[in-house]
A and B are shown apart, each in its own frame.
Chain A
Amino acid sequence: MTPPPLIRIEALTRRFETGGGFLKRPRTMMAVQDVSLSIARGEVVGVVGESGCGKSTLARLVLRLLEPTSGRVLLGDSELTALPPAALRAARKRMAMVFQDPYSSLDPRYSLAEVLAEPFVVQRRALPSGAVAAMLAAVGLPETLATSHPHQLSGGQRQRVGIARALALEPEFLVLDEPTASLDVSIQAQIIDLLADLRDRLGLTYLFISHDLGLVRYFCDRIVVMYLGAVVEVLPHADAAPRHPYTRALIDSGFAPDPARRRTIAPLTGEIPSPFALPPGCAFAGRCPRATDRCRTDRPALGGDAAHPVACFHPH
Chain B
Amino acid sequence: MSALLELSEVSVSIGRAALLERISLRLEPGHILGLVGESGSGKSLTAMAAMGLLPLIGGRVTGGTVRFDGQDIAAMTDGQRRALRGRRIGFVTQNPMTALDPVQRIGAQIDVVSRLHLGLSRQAARARTLDLLTQLRIPEAAAVAEAWPHQLSGGMKQRIVIAMALAGDPDLIVADEPTTALDVTVQAQIIQILGALVRERGLALLLITHDMGVVAQICDRVAVLYAGRLAEENAVDPIFAAPAHPYTRALIGCIPQEGMARGSLHGIPGAVPGALQFPPGCRFHPRCPQASALCRATVPPLTPHGAGIAACHHLSVEAR
Contacts and interface: CB of A to CB of B under 8 A. Distances in A.
B187 interface: yes
B254 A256 contact: no
Interface in B206-263: 210-217, 236-237, 240-241, 250-260, 262-263
Interface in A192-222: 192-193, 196, 211, 213-215, 217-219
Given A154-B271, A267-B189, A257 B184 contact: no
Contacts of A184: 38-39, 210, 254
B318 interface: no
B216 A189 contact: no
A187 B188 contact: no
B303 interface: no
Contact of B271 (A156, A249, A265): A156
Contacts of B250: 186
Contact of A188 (B212, B241, B267): B267
Contacts of A265: 188-189, 192
A268 B185 CA distance: 7
A256 B257 contact: yes
A277 interface: no
Contacts, number: 127
Nearest to B215: A257
Contact of A239 (B137, B156, B259): B259
Contact of B265 (A157, A218, A249): A218
B255 A257 contact: yes
Interface string B262-278: 11011111010000000
B185 A249 contact: yes
Contacts of A255: 188, 191, 211, 213-214, 216-217
A186 B251 contact: yes
In terms of DSSP, what is the predominant structure of the interface of chain A? helix
A154 B287 CA distance: 15
B153 interface: yes
A274 to B, nearest CB: 10
A81 B252 CA distance: 44
Contacts of A109: none
Contacts of A211: 183-184
A264 B192 contact: yes
A50 B185 contact: yes
Given A196-B262, A218-B262, A255-B191, A50 B183 contact: yes
Interface in A256-281: 256-262, 264-265, 267-268, 271-272
A257 B267 contact: no
Given A188-B254, A196-B262, A250-B184, A257 B271 contact: no
A219 B263 CA distance: 9
Contacts of A249: 185
Interface residues of A, number: 44
A267 B183 contact: no
Contacts of B212: 185, 257
Interface in B111-154: 137, 139, 153-154
Given A154-B271, A268-B185, A257 B192 contact: no
A232 to B, nearest CB: 14
Given A154-B271, A186-B268, A255-B214, A215 B256 contact: yes
A69 interface: no
B255 to A, nearest CB: 5
A51 interface: yes
Given A187-B267, A187-B271, A257-B216, A219 B251 contact: no
27 contacts: A50-B183, A50-B184, A157-B271, A184-B210, A185-B251, A186-B251, A189-B253, A189-B265, A189-B266, A190-B267, A196-B263, A211-B183, A211-B184, A214-B257, A218-B260, A239-B259, A256-B216, A256-B258, A257-B212, A257-B215, A257-B216, A264-B192, A267-B189, A267-B192, A268-B185, A271-B156, A272-B153
Interface of B: 38-39, 137, 139, 153-154, 156, 183-185, 187-189, 191-192, 210-217, 236-237, 240-241, 250-260, 262-263, 265-269, 271
Interface of A: 50-51, 154-157, 184-193, 196, 211, 213-215, 217-219, 239, 249-250, 252-262, 264-265, 267-268, 271-272
Given A185-B254, A219-B256, A264-B192, 12 more contacts: A184-B39, A185-B210, A187-B271, A188-B254, A189-B265, A190-B268, A192-B265, A213-B184, A253-B185, A262-B216, A267-B185, A267-B188
Instruction: In the A-B complex, list the 10 residue pairs whose CB atoms are closest, starting with the nearest.
Output: A189-B267, A190-B267, A255-B213, A218-B256, A186-B268, A50-B183, A253-B188, A257-B212, A185-B254, A267-B189
